[in-house]
Amino acid sequence: MLHIPLDSICYIIAKAREFQAKEEVVIPETPSSPTEDWALQVLADHSGDYTLIELIESIGQMNQRQRAELVALMWIGRGDYALEDWESAVDDAIGDYSVRAAAYLLAHPMVSDDLEEGLIAHGYSCQD
């Protein structure tokens, strides 16, 4: 069972798709050094982008469980976990992943598709 309203997830999917569809957004495949936190660098480079600000604020308003579910939803959607392992995925996402959920999610170029696939696995759709 999801603790995030469906309309909130669909909003995040739409905003992530809108943000990552912009030509100037380039997410490096590998950081230039092992200690470089390139996900935060990507966010910093686009700090004036209203789509990004709306997305970060939306995720930031969620409680820790909801942010962990959002990360777990992406993991389910990209096949890292099976739906039967939902609670394990959420438990694994609590902590650093949920604290930095926006940066973590946006570091994945296919996040909108993966979130959508995770929703479908749960039996939901943004198309309804």
Domain chopping of the chain, boundaries: 6-27+35-121
Distance CA 38, CA 14 (A): 23
The C-alpha angle 99, 47, 32, rounded to 5 degrees, equals 75
Q: What is the pTM of this model?
A: 0.78
DSSP 48: T
pLDDT in tens, 52-105: 889 999 999 999 999 999 999 999 999 999 999 999 999 999 988 888 999 899
Alpha helices in 21-110 (DSSP H): 38-45, 50-60, 64-77, 86-93, 96-99, 101-106
